[in-house]
Amino acid sequence: MFGKLLKHEFRATGRIAAPLCGMMLALAVLAGMVLRFWGDLPSEGFSTAGNAIIILYGMSVFAVAIGIFIILMQRYKQNLFSDEGYLTRTLPVSVHELLLSKLFVAVIWYLVTCVLMALSVIIAGGLSGEASWSGVKELFDTLRFYVAHISAADVVYVMLSTLGGMLFITLLFYAVATIAQNFNKHRLLYYFMVILIFIALTRLLAVFNLIFTVRFAGPASGSVGVIGGADGPTAIYVTGSHVWLGLIELYLGNALLYVLTWAFLKFRPNLE
Amino acid sequence: MSSILECKALQKRYGLKDALCGINLSLEPGRIIGLLGPNGSGKTTLIKLACGLLTPTGGEILIDGQKPSKETKAIVSYLPERMALPTWMTAKQAMDYYQDFYSDFRRDTAEDMLARLGLDERQTIRSMSKGMREKLQLILVMSRAAKLYLLDEPIGGVDPATRDYILKTIIGNYNEDAAVVISTHLIADVEQVLDEVVFLRQGNVVLHRSVDDIREAEGKSVDELFRQVFAY
């Protein structure tokens, strides 16, 4: 059943998300072509249209980044709490299957979107000509430089924190929407109240982390460094055991949000 | 015979208002049961509790001996009082959806009924008329060989011709070993198809009898008895 849920989840989200991504890639091609022939554009009208295409491409990247998130959150709410919920929540599947399928599809879409956004930049840059290609090559050289200076543990940390962050933002919305659903009146008000409570909790956690790091972990547990020099790229990095504490907290927070959402869906379905 | 739906002191409260006041009820398979009562009597609440869309405040509800769960959802075919199918789907995609999730879905039956309606399977639900959407939803629900059909107001808000179509579809397609529960306040229209009736008033079961028994003992139609019981 989990596979079938995934199939229908991809179908429902893909029908909006796929054209949005396709539009961004198409605009990347057009923007690349405009940049390539910028000096040879025959009239001012063409220049204006070219400008518009480049601006539209920039906006489409932004629209995809925001749009995917909105599509996924809207899907969650509509699929479980609107009229569609009468169908979804009478399917012979467990709440875990329902929730995990949505979470899995959300993470896949975030990753696909990131890859496609990077691809669109490469396409636009590639088509715009030799000068831009060298810019893209420079970008990869820079990335290689960074990669050469970081350890395997750092790569794992970055990957886990990226994944954890994606899960956190998604689960936060799921939990807020699910808890707020239990209030039959002034739902929007409770919606914002639940968000504020969660934000306050995360802030409190941040304060705790700061105190913990300063008081107990101390400077010996981690270090701050600089990559590169006068001729190369420069970055500041923070490593050490205390950064892993934040990661553990992030995943504990995710687990808590998941359990909350699951419990409310399971024990307080409330489709009145 | 064991009950397909059983309520034991079932209670549901919304805030301070009791929607169901500790009802006891037992329905057996192989019967078509009318769940009858005026608006706000608790019909929809009872059906939602049976589907696991609400949780009881007290008591319990059992479907084939089990509390509402993943397992009971596999044997219950539910028609909500509103359009639950995503409107962006085509009729074909809606059938795919049912086929994927319900092992008892009879695709041939559904396709046959859609063809008789003259409905193009590639048509999106959004582009269908209200009556056509309701027929599609009913066809999907009745194309399952379920053990319990829960039909919430299937004939509310439709024209008399559609009403006849809906009742014919119910009678012609339900699994005969199953129980069919039809919730409505339009008694005269459904009376002809019912085996037994349950009258609900303000969250209480005020009557549960067979239709034949009502006709023989009371010398009245169900509609007449309903008007008498619910007279203001």
CATH number of the domain that B90 lies in?
3.40.50.300
Contact A235, A260 (CB under 8 A): no
Please report where in the chains the tokens 């397909």 appear, as a residue. Answer: B4
> Which segments in chain B show pLDDT lower than 50?
none
Check whether residue A61 and residue A138 sit in a common domain.
yes
Judged against a pLDDT cut of 60, whether residue A168 lies above it is answered with: yes
> DSSP characters for chain A?
-HHHHHHHHHHHHHHHHHHHHHHHHHHHHHHHHHHHTGGG--SHHHHHHHHHHHHHHHHHHHHHHHHHHHHHHHHHHHHHHSTTHHHHTTSSS-HHHHHHHHHHHHHHHHHHHHHHHHHHHHHHHHHT-HHHHHHHHHHHHHHHHHHHHS-HHHHHHHHHHHHHHHHHHHHHHHHHHHHHTT-SSSHHHHHHHHHHHHHHHHHHHHHHHHHHIIIIITGGGEEEEEE--SSS--EEEEEEHHHHHHHHHHHHHHHHHHHHHHHHHHH-----
| Beta-bridge mates of residue B144 | B105
Is the predicted pLDDT of residue A39 greater than 70, yes or no? no
Query: Per DSSP, what are the bridge partners of residue A204?
Result: none
Q: How far apart are CA B47 and CA B24, in angstroms?
A: 14
pLDDT digits (tens, 9 = 90+) for A80-139: 988 999 999 999 999 999 999 999 999 999 999 999 998 888 888 777 776 566 666 777
Contacts of B93 in chain A (CB under 8 A): 11
Contact A101, A6 (CB under 8 A): yes
pLDDT at residue A242 in the model: 62
- Comparing CA positions, the residue from A15, A8, A10, A11 lying closest to residue A91 is A8
Q: What is the pLDDT of residue A219?
A: 53
Shared domain check, A211 and A115: no
* Number of domains observed in the structure of chain A: 2
- What is the nearest CA distance from A44 to chain B, expressed in angstroms? 43
Query: What sign does the CA torsion over A194, A199, A200, A205 have?
Result: positive
pLDDT score at A50: 76
Beta bridge partners of A202: none
Give yes or no: residues A143 and A265 share one domain. Answer: no
Adjacency order of strands within the sheet including B32-36: B76-79, B148-152, B179-184, B32-36, B196-201, B204-210
Cβ contact A90–B14 (<8 Å): no
Closest chain B CA to residue A15? B88
Pair (A61, A88) in one structural domain: yes
Q: How confident is the model at residue A238 (pLDDT cuts 50, 70, 90)?
A: low
Q: Which residue, A93, A120, A149, sits at the end of a domain?
A: A149
For residue A184, list chain B residues with Cβ-Cβ distance below 8 A.
14-15
List the single best residue of B97, B147, B149, B152 to mutate versus A (max A Cβ within 10 A): B97
Q: In this prediction, what percent of chain A has a pLDDT beyond 90? A: 29
Domain boundary pick from A95, A119, A149: A149
Q: In this structure, are A89 and A141 located in the same domain?
A: yes
* Domain assignment of residue A28, given as a range: 1-149
Phi, psi dihedrals of residue B79, rounded to the nearest 5°: -110, 105
Cβ–Cβ of B83/A90 closer than 8 Å?
no
Chain A residues with beta carbon closer than 8 angstroms to that of B130: none
- CA B83, B84, B90, B93 dihedral sign is negative
Does A139 lie in the same domain as A77?
A: yes
The C-alpha angle with vertex A150 and arms to A170 and A152, in degrees rounded to 5, equals 70
Nearest to A84 among B15, B74, B86 (CB): B86
Q: Is the pLDDT of residue A240 over 60?
A: no
Do A261 and A167 share a structural domain? yes
pLDDT number for residue A52: 84
- Chain A residues touching B102 at Cβ < 8 A: 92
Q: Are B5 and B44 in contact (CB under 8 A)?
A: no
Q: What residues contact A96, with CB distance under 8 A and at least 6 apart?
A: A262
Do A205 and A269 share a domain, yes or no?
A: yes
Q: Which residues touch B145 (CB under 8 Å, ≥6 apart)? A: B104, B106, B175, B178
CB pair distance less than 8 Å for B52 and A90: yes
What are the chain A neighbours of B15 within 8 Å (beta carbons)? 184
Within 8 A of B99 by CB-CB distance, chain A residues are none
| Average pLDDT over every residue of A242-253 | 79
Contacts of A272 in chain B (CB under 8 A): 14, 48, 54
pLDDT above 90 for A272: no
Q: And the tokens for B193?
A: 């198809």
Q: Give the whole-angstrom CA distance, residue A51 versus residue B109.
A: 57
- Containing structural domain, residue B121: 5-229
A82 → chain B, closest CA residue: B84
Of A86, A117, A149, the one marking the end of a domain is A149
User: Per-residue pLDDT for A36 more than 90?
Assistant: no
B132 burial type by CB count under 10 A (0-12 exposed, 13-18 middle, 19+ buried): middle
A233 CB-contact burial (10 Å; exposed 0-12 / middle 13-18 / buried 19+): middle
Nearest CB partner across the interface for B83, out of A83, A90, A270: A83
Cβ–Cβ of A83/B54 closer than 8 Å? no
Query: Nearest CA to CA, how far is B72 from chain A (Å)?
Result: 8
Three-state DSSP state, B63: strand
The answer on A75 and A45 residing in a single domain is: yes
Same domain, A130 and A214: no
A83 with B84: Cβ contact below 8 A: yes
* Together in a domain, A77 and A120: yes
Domain count, chain B: 1
Average pLDDT of span A21-45: 80
Residue A83 distance to chain B (closest CA, Å) = 5
d(CA B73, CA B63): 9
Rounded CA-CA distance B93/A47 in Å is 45
> Which residue carries 């002191």 as its tokens?
B9
Mean pLDDT over A7-34 rounds to: 91
Same domain, A145 and A171: no
Contact A92 B70 (CB under 8 A): yes
B148-204 tens-digit pLDDT: 999 998 887 677 777 787 888 888 777 778 899 999 888 888 888 889 999 999 899
Query: Does residue B61 contact residue B7 with C-beta atoms inside 8 Å?
Result: yes
